[in-house]
Structure 1
Amino acid sequence: MGDPERIRSILAFVQEAERLKDTLRSGFTRQGNPESVAEHSWRLCLLVILFEKELPGLDMLKLLKLCILHDLGEALSGDVPAIHQTADNGARQMRERLDLVTLCKPLPVDLQGEVLALWDEYCEATTPEAIFAKGFDKIETMLQHLIGGNPADFDFAFNLGYGRERTGAHPLLAQIRELVDEATTARAKENGQL
């Protein structure tokens, strides 16, 4: 049997993390509904799971943890669309980390440390798992833009430059990116953007 206080604290955190379901991104689902950060994180994990055979030697559990946790801080302050992100000397990242610290307060100390360490690892992108988490994060976003019920003025051409550093960090990511860029180029041409 588990420690009742530990169980309560984990459940309290999970209830607070539910806010991510209501935190909207700038993308749209296929039916034109605003996409939530939770939906993005779910599909990012699905994408990673499906490429497991192409990722030998990676710690898949760690990679999935990074994917699940990478945007968790957005549950409090929201998402900043890539098209609106500016060089802010890390202010957005600091705010998101502080929000994550606040969100993690109900957790037992060991789990607080684990969540924050994984989030920091994702941000630093120096481990193979974090490199893939960041690259697949960008790819999932671009894939969603391709099938989303986007507004008429949606800027498909923006995606052709989006996340290049992250998707170019490994040959597999670059190969996937090439296919996504082909589809994005076609959509941009259809919309008179290229």
Structure 2
Amino acid sequence: MPGDRILGALQFLKEAERLKSTLRSGYTSTGRPESVAEHTWRLCLMALVLADEFEGIDALRLIKLCIVHDLGEALSGDIPAVMQTDGINKSARERADLEQLTQALDPAKRMEVLSLWEEYEAAATSEAVLAKGLDKLETILQHVQGQNPADFDYAFNLGYGQKQTSAHPLLAEIRALLDKETRARAEASGSDR
């Protein structure tokens, strides 16, 4: 790898490190706000653990899609699903941020990252459809596992990502289990009333 490509890769990796400090709306099991990097890590782990259950998919491509899906949030941060409104174009903002974030990369690698992100956003392949479903499931899993504030809205999760999590029978099966846990957390917290 030529020196300028190495320097560009390192610059990109330094910028992407921001995801370690970019917080999401979920909380860890110890009550600490979760970072986008932590969400992405477990999403990739989910993809690795479950990949053999998805017949006919490219597991490496699935994991690559999971890795890049929230990269754009390194610059402008995450917009929690409960705060997304019609006036906010989260996708356009993330795409613009990703273009800026990847500027230091070798052109071929930059195009690969941008193309993977676009594939994910468009749910253009079986792998992208699965990545989107797993992304929703990881979020719900964190919400049922996390030590959330007393006013946490568990009911929101019962409708969150239904389309994406119904795209494959295994996703739907996992969703049903997590919905059961969500209802139990809502009942225990008194937020089901």
- TM score, norm. by length of structure 2: 0.97
Identity %: 57
- Unmatched segments (≥5 aa) in structure 2: none
> In the TM superposition, what whole-angstrom CA distance separates every residue of 1:142-179 from its partner, at most 9, and x where no partner exists?
00001111101111111000000100111111111011
Contact 2:65 2:131 in 1 (8 A): yes
Secondary structure class of the residue paired with 2:160: coil
Secondary structure class of the residue paired with 1:193: coil
State the distance in 2 between where 1:87 and 1:62 align.
31
- Unmatched segments (≥5 aa) in structure 1: none
Contact 2:151 2:191 in 1 (8 A): no
State the distance in 2 between where 1:184 and 1:91 align.
28
Structure 2 partner of 1:82? 81
Structure 2 partner of 1:64? 63
Structure 1 partner of 2:102? 104
Report how far residue 192 of structure 1 moved.
Answer: 2.2
State the distance in 1 between where 2:108 and 2:124 align.
23
Structure 1 partner of 2:10? 11
Displaced runs of 4 or more, over 6 A: none
State the distance in 1 between where 2:166 and 2:156 align.
17
Q: Compute the RMSD of aligned alpha carbons.
A: 1.0
Structure 2 partner of 1:144? 142
Q: Say if 2:150 is the partner of 1:191.
A: no
The amino acid that maps onto 1:175 is E
State the distance in 2 between where 1:125 and 1:184 align.
26
State the distance in 2 between where 1:105 and 1:53 align.
35
Q: Say if 2:160 is the partner of 1:162.
A: yes
Aligned residue pair count:
192
